[in-house]
Structure 1
Amino acid sequence: MAPSESASPVGVPPPDAPDARPGPGTEPGGALGRVVRAITGIELGVAALATAMIFVLVLVQAFQRYLPVDGWTWTGELSRYGLVWLTFVAAGVLVTRDGHIALQVVDTLRPAWLVRAVHVLAHLVVAATGAGFAWACWTLIQESGNLTTPSLQIPMSFVYALPLVGFVSTAVRSLLAAVLVLRYGIPASRERDALPVSVNGPEQGARA
């Protein structure tokens, strides 16, 4: 085995390899890449704030059991909505970083164009689903009127706004991922706990 082959995991070309191309798990370059990274930072910031809020509110709920006062009902309400915001705001980021739960059984099949077609179809289905849910959120915002939450009196239009942003991000990022897969193919897994095996790559059979 050549020294260059032992320097990288099986199926993953070295960083300076001429055939190393971006894929659906990477962000595009140029101005579009900067926009995507900025939006990703905002979404991750909102998700981090929601996580911290849930943590603090759950602790407050636990301490309330040992205090000689009535419990604050708004803590449970806000923590539940925080979990909703966290879940949907971060959904688009996971699409770009290929972090959603997936079954990779199809990746071992031949021919390679079939695997690529399945991945493109999967991204398109996710994009259509995200667009459908975004439309549903927009409809709920329009129909919520003066409805508010029971404890904090938060307008329901605000409660639905963050999931709307998350679903729009999911739809757009899935379309972008479909284009990247169609153009560049399917990259090797970039997750640390995943098997670093490329999908239908020529080097996979040569090094097996």
Structure 2
Amino acid sequence: MTAVASSGETNLVLSAVRAVDRAVLGVNRACMIAALAAMAVMVFVSVSLRYLTDDAILWAEELSRYLMIWLCLIGVGPVLRLGGHVAVDNLHVAVPPMAARVLRVVVVAIVAGFALYMTWAGLGYVARSWRQTTPVLHIPFAYVAMAVPIGFGLSVWHLLMILVPYVRDGAFETSDDLAPEEASAA
């Protein structure tokens, strides 16, 4: 009887984790899209104004730069899920399956350790940068620096979400949004 209850509880926990993961990934992707859209609009309007009126939006370049930082750092995790980062996989393809799993565990440990360290170091940097302000917008630089701990913290979450299939099979997630046949048809 406890095995059945335990199995039901496990399924409930897994369902909850999947729901949280869908929400985290959805918010992560929406923030990336919003940052990219805002950058595109600001740069287009600023450049257009510069050529049409000989005047530009002074803060657009600075804000676009900071949005690019945020976009890059919060994009680390979703790209990790798809196996989109540069990697050398010759060794784990050439060795027996058990050795390949061990190598993938080492890779996960290194990536997780680096991401956790960057999260911790980023929090320290944020704490030290509240009094520094940006040149044009005059906002605390800590708002820009927050991209480091948030981006790497999210990457730890995304790594945990692909951990089992990656270690077991070397598999990453797939995305219909990034299907090569869709890209070439457009």
User: Which category describes the TM-score, using the shorter chain as reference length?
Assistant: 0.7 to 0.9
Distance 1:146 1:52 in 2: 29
Select 1:133's aligned residue among 105, 118, 133.
Answer: 118
Q: 1:144 to 1:34 in 2, by over 3 A?
A: same
Partner of 1:185: 169
Name the structure with the higher helix share: 2
Q: CA deviation at 1:167?
A: 0.5
1:35 counterpart = 2:16:
no
Q: Does 1:97 align with 2:74?
A: no
Q: CA RMSD in A?
A: 2.5
Deviation digits for residues 117-148 of structure 1, max 9, x if unmatched?
A: 21221122111111111112111111113222
1:66-122: CA deviation from partner (whole Å, max 9, x where unpaired): 233433221110111111111111111222233323233234313111111212211
Partner Cα distance (2:127, 2:91) in 1: 41
Q: Where do 5+ consecutive residues of structure 2 fail to align? A: 1-12, 181-186
Aligned pairs (5 A) from 1:52-71: 52-71=37-56
- Equivalent positions of 1:73-152 (< 5 A) are 73-152=58-137
CA gap of 1:104–1:169, structure 2 versus 1, over 3 A, is same
* 1:123–1:175 CA contact under 8 A, matched in 2: no
**Deviation above 3 Å: which 4+ runs of structure 1?**
67-70, 175-182, 187-193
* Sequence identity percentage: 27
Counterpart residue type for residue 150 of structure 1? P
Give the TM-score normalised by structure 2. 0.77
Indicate conservation of the 8 Å contact 1:134/1:168, yes or no: yes
Measure how far apart 1:158 and its partner are.
1.4
Q: CA deviation at 1:176?
A: 4.5
TM-score (norm 1): 0.70
